[in-house]
Amino acid sequence: MNFNQNLGYLRTQYESRLSQQKLADALGFKKSTLAAWESGRANPSFEDMLKIADYFKISTDDLLTLDLSAAQEKPWIKEDNLRVLVTSVNSHNQENIEYVPVRAMGGYARGYGDVDYIGELPAFQLPFLSQEKKYRAFPYEGDSMPPLREGCTVMGEFVENWHEIKSGTICLVVTQNEGVVLKKIFNYLEEKGILVLKSTNERYSPYPVMLSDIQEIWAFAGYFDTEFPR
């Protein structure tokens, strides 16, 4: 039976990448119950399984027996809204925080959607961060975003809906041409289909990035440094 892994897969690959709390609320379950099902510590009643299958528009047979991650047809995915995020989990089925080391940064813009690439990244947990959000850590290079110092590690929170990003938000932006950059974002996606990226170092000029060039966005969630900021 593949129910437990399929439930976690459906939730994280759905059109809006549902948190456990959001899916539990939508189905009328407790979050703790849903978490127990995903981790394999419990299984739902037949009535609850029918409710889950109906929500994702698949059959109970497929939910129980197929490996949905390998299925060719994915009716639960709406391509126009989807931000596919490849992630890794620990032994308790909790999403890891993957760290992208300097040696892997050059390939991140190509490998961010590759299961093998993400699976090989170092991963860890931080208990004080929300389990309902997805985080990833990146090394910071350069001098464009003081007071951050080159060599520190920046934490990013995955952004599903880019149109809702408020202007002035600091984000890690993954683009086809530049790879991963940390900038302050000014959002003109609705009017012009672009984001304007601005450094906190005034020596660097703001520049636009087209929507078609953007691959991922991670909102700044903190940083780690071995030196006290000046």
- Whether 209 shows a pLDDT value over 50: the answer reads yes
Number of domains in the chain: 2
Do 51 and 101 share a domain, yes or no? Answer: no
Q: Identify the pLDDT of residue 40.
A: 87
CA distance 61 to 222: 43
Structure tokens at 149: 């110092």
> What are the backbone dihedrals phi and psi of residue 191, each rounded to the nearest 5 degrees, phi first?
-85, -40
Other beta carbons within 10 angstroms of residue 123's beta carbon come to 18
Look at residues 178, 160, 155 and name the one whose alpha carbon lies nearest to residue 216: 160
Q: Say which CATH number the domain at 19 has.
A: 1.10.260.40
- Whether 228 shows a pLDDT value over 70: the answer reads yes
Do 54 and 151 share a domain, yes or no? Answer: no
Q: Is residue 75 part of a domain?
A: no
CA distance 145 to 151: 12
Do 117 and 14 share a domain, yes or no? Answer: no
Structure confidence by residue, pLDDT tens digits, 72-97? 666 655 544 445 678 888 888 788 99
Structure confidence by residue, pLDDT tens digits, 1-19? 688 888 988 888 775 567 8
Do 189 and 132 share a domain, yes or no? Answer: yes
Do 220 and 109 share a domain, yes or no? Answer: yes
Q: Say which CATH number the domain at 141 has.
A: 2.10.109.10
Structure confidence by residue, pLDDT tens digits, 30-68? 989 998 998 888 889 988 988 898 888 888 888 888 888
Q: Identify the pLDDT of residue 143.
A: 94
Domain that holds residue 48: 3-70
Q: Is residue 134 part of a domain?
A: yes
Look at residues 94, 172, 83 and name the one whose alpha carbon lies nearest to residue 130: 94
Do 173 and 105 share a domain, yes or no? Answer: yes
Do 63 and 141 share a domain, yes or no? Answer: no
**Quick one: average pLDDT of 208-229?**
91
Do 207 and 118 share a domain, yes or no? Answer: yes
DSSP codes of every residue in 83-111: ------B-TTSPBPEEE--HHHHTTHHHH
Do 37 and 147 share a domain, yes or no? Answer: no
